[in-house]
Amino acid sequence: AQSVTQLDSQVPVFEEAPVELRCNYSSSVSVYLFWYVQYPNQGLQLLLKYLSGSTLVKGINGFEAEFNKSQTSFHLRKPSVHISDTAEYFCAVSGYNFNKFYFGSGTKLNVKP
Amino acid sequence: SQTIHQWPATLVQPVGSPLSLECTVEGTSNPNLYWYRQAAGRGLQLLFYSVGIGQISSEVPQNLSASRPQDRQFILSSKKLLLSDSGFYLCAWSPGGHTFGSGTRLTVV
């Protein structure tokens, strides 16, 4: 079975500052990794995913994440955040069959002016 | 293109009443389908997933059930709602990463 840990429940940051949202996973098998964003009262939207290839993955809205197998991490980064990035972010893993996904508990990013 | 429809958007139901939430997917065939619940201030809890018609896997024993009567239709039901069933219910389809519906906010009163 897999599990996901998002180490920070809330991250406050000022506009135009860089941000990193941390995600660690545990699994006895190889996994696929995902980041999702959720705006208030909406469903989740896929930001980016790592399936194979380059460990640095670029997604929408200027976000990127790096897969580190030795650290079992998949941290999400953005060099300069905007007010509109205020939302909750979820890290997730799945096995290669995509049958089951395991989500972290979420990190609320609060961008301040 | 693939789209996912989930309704209703909001629902207020009394304790003990039945529940039926519907999710349909368009533009794909034989998708994996999922129901999640998101309680206030908490992450996503996988309730059910389905890899085909009539195939339902339950992740958490509780007051809810799911059915997949057609390839692209996934229904979440309850015979008698509890207060603890309140939450934000999300349907999703796969593979390749989830695409989520817009969610149903259920309040049991």
Q: What is the pLDDT of residues A31-71, one digit of tens each?
A: 899 999 999 888 889 999 998 889 999 999 999 999 999 99
Amino acid in position A70: S
pLDDT tens by residue, B31-49: 999 999 987 767 788 899 9
Instruction: Write out the residues of chain B at the interface with chain A, using a CB-CB cutoff of 8 A.
Output: 6, 32, 34, 36, 42-44, 46, 49, 51, 88, 90, 92, 94-103, 105
| B47 contact residues in A (CB cutoff 8 A) | none
What was the pLDDT predicted at B1? Answer: 76
Q: Per DSSP, which regions of chain B are E strands? A: 3-7, 10-13, 19-26, 32-38, 44-52, 55-58, 65-70, 73-78, 87-94, 99-100, 104-108
Q: Which of B91, B87, B92 is nearest to B105 (CA)?
A: B87
Q: What's the average model confidence in pLDDT over A22-35? A: 90
Q: What's the average model confidence in pLDDT over A66-87? A: 96
What was the pLDDT predicted at B41? Answer: 66
First to last CA, chain B: 38
What was the pLDDT predicted at A3? Answer: 87
Probe site for chain B from A42, A44, A105 (most B CB atoms < 10 A): A44
What was the pLDDT predicted at A41? Answer: 80
Q: How far is B101 from chain A (nearest CA, A)?
A: 6
Residue A112 · residue A106 · CB < 8 Å: no
Q: Which of A107, A5, A90, A3 is nearest to A47 (CA)?
A: A90
Q: What's the average model confidence in pLDDT over B12-34? A: 94
